[in-house]
């Protein structure tokens, strides 16, 4: 069997789409997780309710069902979005819902006295959140959020089912054209694996960076 280098260019084209989806998804998921997680802890009842609906709706249904609904059913209600937009929004909001639970847990774990100390020093609510609570919650959030970003990478494979030419889609197209299933899917799996490993390496570096001030402070 010759080395399957001829398969690489189309697969790498697909990998580019996969990376764009992952990056776009993270750009949606991050703010969604932060907003959703903080809203769940809000004093305002309607904010808590809205966050609960968001989290339960996206965590309670399947990511693929959400993609199909947004791509096939939503246009019937008059909202037409491109496949790429649907992919980034749905996958981002889906992972963001899981991230909201992470943010909520980490923020709740910051001792109440930290908030009281901030208030005693005359910090505004906003300053307490951004300067006192979040910096302390961040090191606890990062490892699970890193895992979620890898889940996001893996979930981008689903967009191949709504016609986007990502890595999985290209693998399928190549298989149909060449029937070299074993080589193609082994390569596709390998490319996902390497991407995931690179991402988790990056996350570990980020974690040690973010946690550095703690070592100094103690």
Partner 1 sequence: MAGGGKVTFDWAYTLDILPALLNALVVTIQATLAGMALALILGLLWAVLRRSPQPAVRLPAAGLVAFIRSTPLLVQIYFLFFVLPGAGVVLSPFLTGVIALGLHYSAYTAEVYRAGIEAVPKGQWEAARALNLSPGHTWRAVILPQALPPVIPALGNYLVAMFKDSPLLAAITVTELLQTAKLIGAETFRYLEPLTLVGILFLIISLLASRLVHHLERRYGTV
Residues at the site binding partner 1, with contacts judged by CB under 8 A: 56-57, 59-66, 68-69, 72-73, 76-78, 150, 153-158, 160-161, 168, 171-172, 175, 181-182, 185-186, 188-189, 192-193, 196-197, 200
3-state DSSP assignment of residue 108: helix
d(Cα 137, Cα 200) in Å, to the nearest integer?
20
3-state DSSP assignment of residue 14: helix
Task: Give me the least distance between CB of 166 and partner 1, in Å please.
Answer: 10
Enumerate the H helices of the chain as residue ranges: 8-40, 45-60, 63-68, 83-108, 112-120, 125-127, 134-155, 167-178, 181-210, 212-217
Task: Give me the least distance between CB of 77 and partner 1, in Å please.
Answer: 6
DSSP-derived secondary structure for 47-102? HHHHHHHHHHHHHHS-HHHHHHIIIIIGGGGT----HHHHHHHHHHHHHHHHHHHH
Task: Give me the least distance between CB of 85 and partner 1, in Å please.
Answer: 18
Q: Which is nearer to partner 1, 69 or 123 (CB)?
A: 69
Task: Give me the least distance between CB of 90 and partner 1, in Å please.
Answer: 12
Q: Which is nearer to partner 1, 124 or 182 (CB)?
A: 182
Task: Give me the least distance between CB of 95 and partner 1, in Å please.
Answer: 13
Task: Give me the least distance between CB of 217 and partner 1, in Å please.
Answer: 30
d(Cα 216, Cα 130) in Å, to the nearest integer?
20
Q: Which is nearer to partner 1, 128 or 152 (CB)?
A: 152
Residue 177, both tokens: 């054209």
Task: Give me the least distance between CB of 101 and partner 1, in Å please.
Answer: 11
Q: Which residues, in sequence order, are CB contacts of 25 under 8 Å at separation 6+?
A: 87, 88, 91, 92, 95, 152, 155, 156
Main-chain dihedrals φ then ψ at residue 121, nearest 5 degrees:
-85, 5
Handedness of CA 180, 152, 87, 98 (dihedral sign): positive
């Amino acid at each position: 069997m010759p080395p399957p280098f001829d398969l690489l260019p189309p697969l790498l084209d697909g990998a580019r789409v996969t990376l764009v989806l992952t990056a776009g998804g993270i750009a949606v998921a991050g703010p969604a997780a932060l907003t959703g997680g903080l809203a769940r802890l809000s004093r305002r009842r309607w904010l808590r309710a809205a966050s609960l609906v968001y989290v339960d709706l996206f965590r309670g249904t399947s990511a693929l069902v959400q993609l199909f609904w947004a791509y096939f059913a939503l246009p019937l209600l008059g909202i037409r979005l491109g496949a790429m937009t649907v992919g980034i929004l749905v996958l981002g909001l889906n992972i963001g819902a899981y991230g909201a639970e992470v943010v909520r847990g980490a923020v709740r774990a910051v001792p109440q006295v930290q908030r009281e100390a901030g208030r005693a020093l005359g910090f505004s609510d906003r300053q307490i959140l951004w300067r006192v609570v979040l910096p302390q919650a961040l090191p606890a959030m990062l490892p699970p959020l890193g895992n979620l970003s890898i889940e996001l990478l893996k979930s981008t494979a689903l967009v191949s089912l709504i016609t986007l030419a990502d890595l999985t889609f290209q693998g399928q197209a190549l298989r149909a054209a060449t029937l070299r299933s074993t080589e193609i899917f082994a390569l596709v799996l390998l490319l996902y694996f390497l991407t995931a490993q690179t991402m988790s390496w990056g996350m570990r570096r980020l974690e040690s960076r973010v946690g550095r001030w703690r070592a100094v402070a103690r």
